[in-house]
Amino acid sequence: MDYLEIKGGHALSGKVRISGAKNAALPILSATLLAEGCFNLQEVPDLEDVKILLELLKELGIKVKKSANGQVELDSSKLESYEAPYDLVRKMRASVLVLGPLVARLGKARVSLPGGCAIGARPIDFHLKGLELMGAKLVIREGFVEAKASRLKGAHIYFDIPSVTGTENLMMAACLAKGKTVLENAAKEPEIVALGEMLINMGAKIQGLGTATIVIEGVKSLKPTTCKIIPDRIEAGTYIMAVGAAGGELIIENCIPDHLETVILKLKAAGLKIDVIDEDKIKVKKKGRLCSVDVKTQPYPGFPTDLQAQIMVLMATAGKLSVITETIFENRFMHVAELKRLGADIRVEGRSAIVKGVKHLNGAPVMATDLRASASLVLAGLGAKGTTIVQGLHHLDRGYEKMDEKLAQVGARIRRLQSDGV
C-alpha cells in the first residue's frame, strides 16, 4: 500500500499547474453517450475516478483511446450495453451520471444504486424523481434502478436542494426529450456550465446555465464535438491553501480566478496575500500567522464543501477561534479526529466544528477517510513540525493528479513510499 511521508516546515516556492477538473470531466465523459460518433476531449485529468468512468463507458460499448497529454478520444457510434454494474458504481458514485444519457439515447438503463458514502447518505432520489416526471418508468430491483421510456418528455422539475450531479443528469436527459424541460432551483456550479456548453456544441438547446433556472428544449439527436475540460477550482483552492499551511509563495497556473472568488475573499480575510496576476494565474503569499475566520459551506457560489477540510487545517493554527459549519453533507467531519492526532484543538457540535488555533501542529501517522479529507491531511503535514505519514492514498488519487509530485516540485519534502503489504 502506498503512503506519503511528509517532513513539515518547508515553505513552498515556484509554480503549480492546475489539472482539468474532475467534476467537469465526469459529466462531460458521460455526455458522450448521448450522440453517435467520435469525441475528442482535452485536459482530461489522469485520476482514479476518471479511469473508473472510462472503464464503465467501455463496458457500455464506447471505444476509448487515451493519449499521454490528457487527450481522450471516444467513439460512441455503437452502444452494446445499458447496464452500469455494481462494482463500478460502488467504487465511484458519479457513475450514476450515465443514467440520464442512457435512458435518453437507448430508452432504457440498468444502473446499480450507489449505496452509502463516508461523508453522508447522498441519496439519488432527485435524479430518479426527475426522470419519472420526464415519463420514465422506474423499478428498483436487486440493487439496481431499471429505467425505461420510449422517448422522454419535457417536464417542470424542482430540486428541493440544488444537486450538482442531479442537475447534470437531468439536463443531459432533457436534451433528447420531446419538448421543454425546466429545472428549477438547479445547481449553478461552473462544472454544470461547462457541461451545458459542451451539450450546446453538440446541438442541444439550453438557456439559463449558471442560474437557478435552466431551460432545455429537447432535440431529436445530438452530434459529437471536441471539448477542453476547465481547470479544477477545488485543486486550485487546495494549492492556495497549501501556501497557507506551509508558508512561502506560489504561482497557481491554469486556473479560472472567477470560479474561486468566494474562496479567495475568505482566504484574504484570513490574511493570505492573493493576487490575480493574469486571466489564468494567481499569486499567493503567506506573511505571518493567519487570523481565524468563520466558514459556512454553501452551494456555488458559496464556499465549497470540497474545500471545508482544507480550510479547517489553516484555522487549526490561526490566531483565535473559528466556527466551520458544514451545510451540504451531514457527516463531513471525518478529518477532525485525524487533525486532533496532530495536536489540533477542534470540537464538533452538530453541523459545526469549533476550531481553536494552536501554535503549531505536530507530525503523526494519520489515515485518510475520504477524498478531500486526504488533501487536508497532506496540507496539515506540510505545516506540522516533524514527520507526518498519510495512509489511505486511494482517496487522494481519486481526485488529485500527482499531488505529491506537484508539491515536491515547489519545495515540499514529500515522498510516496510503499509499505510491505499492509
Residue 181 or 388: the one with the smaller Cβ distance to ligand UD1 is 181
Catalytically annotated residue among 38, 117, 227, 255: 117
Binding residues vs ligand UD1 (CB under 6 A): 23, 26, 94, 120-127, 161, 163-166, 187, 191, 305-306, 328-329
Strand order in the sheet with 72-75: 63-66, 72-75, 38-42, 226-228
Minimum Å gap between C-beta 345 and ligand UD1 is: 26
| Cα–Cα distance measured from residue 243 to residue 262, given in angstroms and rounded to the nearest whole number | 17
Residue 391 to residue 374: CA distance in whole angstroms: 9
- Cβ(174)–Cβ(186) under 8 Å? no
Q: How many residues does the chain have?
A: 422
How far apart are CB 379 and ligand UD1 at their closest, in Å? 18
In DSSP notation, 336-401 reads HHHHHHTT-EEEEETTEEEEEPPS--B--EEE--SHHHHHHHHHHHHHSBSEEEEE-HHHHHHH-T
What minimum distance in Å lies between the beta carbon of 323 and ligand UD1? 20
Nearest to 360 by CA among 385, 340, 337: 385
Dist. CA 101–CA 352, nearest whole Å = 37
**Is residue 117 among the annotated active site residues?**
yes
Is the Cβ of residue 105 or residue 188 nearer to ligand UD1 in the bound state?
A: 188
Q: Which of 191/404 has CB closer to ligand UD1?
A: 191
- 160 versus 278: smaller Cβ distance to ligand UD1: 160
Strand partners, 367: 391
Of 342 and 377, CB closest to ligand UD1:
377
Q: How far is the CB of 62 from ligand UD1 (least distance, A)?
A: 19
Positions marked catalytic: 117
